[in-house]
Structure 1
Amino acid sequence: MFSRIVQTGSRQGEIVEVVLRNGWDYMRRLLTGGKVDEPKLPPPKVLRNILVELGPVYVKLGQLLSTRPDLLSPDYIEALSTLQAEVPPVEWAEIEIVMRKQLHLPLDETFSAIQLQPVAAGSIAQTHRATLKDGREVALKVQRPGLSAVIEQDITLIRLIARLVAQTDFGQYYDIVAIAEEFTQALRTELDFTQEAHYTDQLRQNLSNTRWFDPKQITVPEIYWEFTSDKLIVMEWLDGVPLLAATFANPAFEGDSDREREEISTLLLRAFFQQICLDGFFHADPHPGNLFYLRDGRVALFDCGMVGRIDPRTQQILLELVLAIVNLDAQRCTQLVLQLAPSVNPINRVKLQTEFDQLLRRYYSLNITQVNFSKLVYEVLQVARNNKIRIPGNLGLCAKAIANLEGIARSLDPNFNIPNKLRPMMTEVFQRQIVGEAPLVALLRTALDLKNLSLQSPRQVELLLDRVTSETLQWNLSVREVEPLRRTLDSSANRLSFSVVVGALIIGAAIISANTQSSQVYWVSDVLFAAASFLGLWLIVSILRSGQLK
């Protein structure tokens, strides 16, 4: 197996060499065909070093893994969250070739000026500032040349390792092959800049239509679609600095920077609350490098390549789960987690609730301002993971976004507290869910439903009574887990029957042997003893093979 992986290409051989050089013993045994037990990750720092050595693509994979607290423990999440690709910028001559292939017109007919030195360089792309012929200032996000081929090679190895790990109980339970496909799809999506541009447009539209905050205070760059392609995004240039490096001199606050920091923290929380709990479409990577403070006092949100989606049912359960966590309600947490992630395997509900109670009990005596909400959410997900409950991946993205958001908000305002800010918003959302956006319309619709029910009920009752009296009524009941119980009872009954038969044969043979003087009928008792011995031996073997002796 090891030689097969190395022979698939120089890139794969290089990756295997890096993994083995860093002393990952489990992977060494796995790749060389040795005996392995449950998968064992290297220590967090070692894993981080491996990913950094493997290069930009694996740094991006590590960043994706850092969004999955449902799969990894907090120490791994913390180590991977700090991953940044130390990638030198690509020379302008190579970037120019990519841009000329992507644009319909020559560069000098499209732009009046381009800064050849990039303003930012990442593992996937680098950004240049430019000016269009009509005078608009734009940012050019250009994909690094040759990246597609490297990623496809890396995806091949990721899939191969996933198939190997899938042979273990761990791999089968967590469906490692499906998770690997999810990550590879995310990597491919990062390469399709038109997808990121669509995400940016959707987020911009969602944030411009809101009642939770002033939409003029937060913005997302406008996409210029006439110049955008799968390897080039041309978007509005927004002049500002990273949010945490801003000095906050907005005249609207008359020099009160503390007040402005508090307002910005609340603005971000409301914006992401709307994205997660109302829109079901959210920016999944709001780290400090993606949030800028503009010179006009607005907050800008960049880099929409990683987004999350939540369906309406999950939104409803998630809202109630957040409320249960805020209220430190272990029983309700248990109910909602099981609703979020129904398991085909039996779950010890009492054990799960006990662990939630032990977790939340640690926060009972704390002041609400002392509670690290994102850490508490992570711990709730970890309890679920330890109990073999597979939390949907989009909730891992959601937890990661909340953690980033809380970190930024506390850096701006040390007294910022998510639970205190969330309660009034959640109260309003629940009220709106009860009465609807238009209470009068909802009331009239309910009245109409009641009218229809009152008109249809007598007819339905008449049909039911007619079927009961004519003996044509049939009940179709389906009880979960009853089939395995039936098979178990059948097996037990069969073994009991065999035991009775064996006992009867032995007793019959003994009676014949004791009461018969003629040697001619001794063969009957011999046959009975032989049959009893055979059936008894078969019964013992079947019990031993079933593993149910105890």
Structure 2
Amino acid sequence: MMGPLQALRLLRINWILLRHGLDEVILATHLFRPLRWIKYLLPWHWVQRDLPPYPARIRRALEDLGPIFVKFGQILSTRRDLLPDDLANELAKLQDRVPPFSGELARAIIEKAWGRPIEEVLDQFDPVPLASASIAQVHTGRLKDGTEVVVKVLRPGIERIIRQDLALMYTFARLAQRYWKDGRRLRPVEVVSEYEKTIYDELDLQREAANASQLRRNWLNSQMLYIPEVYWDWTRPNVMVMERIYGTPVSEVEQLKAQGISMRLLGERGVEIFFTQVFRDNFFHADMHPGNIFVEPSGRYISIDFGIIGTLTAEDQRYLAENLLAFFERDYRRVAELHVESGWVPPGTRVDEFESAIRTVSEPIFEKPLAEISFGHFLVRLFQTARRFNMEIQPQLVLLEKTLLNIEGLGRQLYPELDLWTTAKPYMERWMREQVGLRGLAERTWRNVYSIADQVPELPLVAYRMLMAYDKQLRHAEFERAKLQREESPSTAAIALRAIGGATLVICATLILVLGPGQWLPEHLALVLMTLTYLVGGWLLIAAARTA
């Protein structure tokens, strides 16, 4: 049941939708279509209004609805396999503009998390936030040893707000899925469910810190990417302390050029970092928009904000690499087969029809120069096509598609002539050789040696248990077979009873024949009785013989 606070929130949402002219969108749904005439009674429809296109109205409505809806719109903008291009492009413009909460409140949250005054940990703490977003805000400080740090603090009460807004999102999603003509295809309930998982993951700053630590280990001493250090002694679920970094935002292209940094090198490094994270580490930063990337004067990237991380299974890695290689070789049948083999589409999918659909999508791409071919948009079109063949949502592939689109857009912003395929293909081919060649086989075997060796002493006991289980199964099967035979065949006692009964009747009939009729047995009755007794006795004897 909806509480009073939710009801008020719902009223506010409806008012914002009406204010942005989205009543037309609502009344166009199947549920409200019979009531579309009502809009002519609404005063704002009596005067011609100059409204922007509906994607812009949706973006502005989400901005007015608050940070949780803005973040939902940002994530929704990455689902280009579901949304029209114009709507996805408009939602990508959403900015997480949230006024900061007070520095005194941030201090109180930090001191409660640490269980001590800030002055015992930090020599300096700036109450004015360095940055503020929908989930948390960041303050600068300095540890006792002089290390400059940033302190990330969750917004107070944010979990309650998220829980309330998610409940309303689920309500809207269920209505849309039931009454909107595209509801079943777009699966809004599943989209909200994905968002719920993502947003709750971002509420745990210890989880984000663990992601940062793993990425730092993967890229330690690298000349391409730097990950700041986490200070675990002062990190809690709602407070994270991390090394402060300095660099030029990657979107400031003119500043980067003024520093003498090669734009081509930056673009190619970005692609190499992405494919290394996906295929070497299987642990990739899935929120690589320009606001989270900086560049050192040496040209090394610096990455921040590790709330969203993607991983792939070994099978997904191999299928993805094979898909991309097959695509650029125009082997569309292999692309279709890989989708079926991987389980991304149902096993009964007709490969020839799927192949034809993929060819229809892919061939126009190859009419462009190689440097203009977009990996990201190819994946978008491929997933859109696969959805027509009942491809289930693969959350890990959605994150990959989003990240690839970000990296590709960033790379071409830095260096418009970036040839993504030429940069990535040698890396993927080398990775495939390592995985399926002798080297890959040897490495996988060596990785399993210790786990196999640990089980060797247990093999005799395992073999004994298997033999005993097999013997028990045989005994049980023999018992069941004998039981079944007993149930299906008549008992020996029944056969004997029929034989004895038949023999007795035959003997009685013979006595009647020998002794003949008398005072108590008239002649006609004796004849009938003798005949019947012979017939019944003979039938019983024959039946007993057949059964036996």
State the TM-score, normalized to the length of structure 1.
Answer: 0.71
Query: What SS does structure 2 have at the residue aligned with 1:131?
Result: strand
> Does the Cα contact within 8 Å between 2:224 and 2:273 map onto a contact in 1?
no
Match of 2:72 in 1: 61
Amino acid at match of 1:192: D
> Does the Cα contact within 8 Å between 1:66 and 1:78 map onto a contact in 2?
yes
Match of 2:226 in 1: 219
Amino acid at match of 1:145: P
Amino acid at match of 1:229: R
Amino acid at match of 2:192: A
Q: How far has the Cα of 1:157 moved from its partner?
A: 0.9
Q: How far has the Cα of 1:302 moved from its partner?
A: 0.8
Deviation digits for residues 388-409 of structure 1, max 9, x if unmatched?
A: 4334122121111111101111
Q: How far has the Cα of 1:363 moved from its partner?
A: 2.9
> Does the Cα contact within 8 Å between 2:376 and 2:405 map onto a contact in 1?
yes
User: Which stretch has the larger CA shift, 88-97 or 152-161?
Assistant: 88-97
Structure with more contact order per residue of length (Cα contacts < 8 Å, sep ≥ 6)? 1
Match of 1:190 in 2: 202
Structure-2 separation of matches of 1:16 and 1:5: 17
Query: What SS does structure 1 have at the residue aligned with 2:83?
Result: coil
Structure 1: unaligned runs, 5 residues or longer: 37-41, 209-213, 446-550
Match of 1:153 in 2: 164
Distance 1:370 1:167, change over 3 A: closer
1:401 aligns with 2:372: no
Match of 1:13 in 2: 11
Distance 1:143 1:355, change over 3 A: same
Structure-2 separation of matches of 1:273 and 1:379: 20
Match of 1:300 in 2: 302
Distance 1:372 1:129, change over 3 A: same
Query: What SS does structure 2 have at the residue aligned with 1:377?
Result: helix
Deviation digits for residues 282-312 of structure 1, max 9, x if unmatched?
A: 1111111111012454311111111212111
> Does the Cα contact within 8 Å between 2:340 and 2:346 map onto a contact in 1?
no
Match of 1:80 in 2: 91
Match of 1:524 in 2: none
Structure-2 separation of matches of 1:360 and 1:293: 35
Match of 1:164 in 2: 175
Match of 2:417 in 1: 415
Match of 1:435 in 2: 437
Structure-2 separation of matches of 1:19 and 1:6: 20
Distance 1:142 1:35, change over 3 A: farther
Structure-2 separation of matches of 1:282 and 1:333: 24
Distance 1:334 1:73, change over 3 A: farther
- Which of these residues, 241, 249, 257, is aligned with residue 234 of structure 1? 241
- Which of these residues, 97, 117, 134, is aligned with residue 123 of structure 1? 134
Deviation digits for residues 39-92 of structure 1, max 9, x if unmatched?
A: xxx942222122111110111111121222332233332222221122222221
Larger radius of gyration: 2
Match of 1:46 in 2: 57
> Does the Cα contact within 8 Å between 1:325 and 1:333 map onto a contact in 2?
yes
- Which of these residues, 306, 311, 314, is aligned with residue 312 of structure 1? 314
Structure 2: unaligned runs, 5 residues or longer: 36-52, 448-548
Q: How far has the Cα of 1:25 moved from its partner?
A: 3.9
Structure-2 separation of matches of 1:148 and 1:31: 34
Distance 1:292 1:100, change over 3 A: same
Amino acid at match of 1:226: D
Distance 1:172 1:364, change over 3 A: closer
Q: How far has the Cα of 1:317 moved from its partner?
A: 0.6
Structure-2 separation of matches of 1:281 and 1:137: 28
Q: How far has the Cα of 1:126 moved from its partner?
A: 1.6
Match of 1:101 in 2: 112
> Does the Cα contact within 8 Å between 1:290 and 1:303 map onto a contact in 2?
yes
Q: How far has the Cα of 1:180 moved from its partner?
A: 2.4
1:91 aligns with 2:102: yes
State the TM-score, normalized to the length of structure 2.
Answer: 0.71
Match of 1:276 in 2: 278
Structure-2 separation of matches of 1:196 and 1:25: 41
Query: What SS does structure 2 have at the residue aligned with 1:116?
Result: coil
Structure-1 separation of matches of 2:166 and 2:143: 37
Q: How many residues align?
A: 429
Distance 1:297 1:422, change over 3 A: closer
Structure-2 separation of matches of 1:441 and 1:413: 37
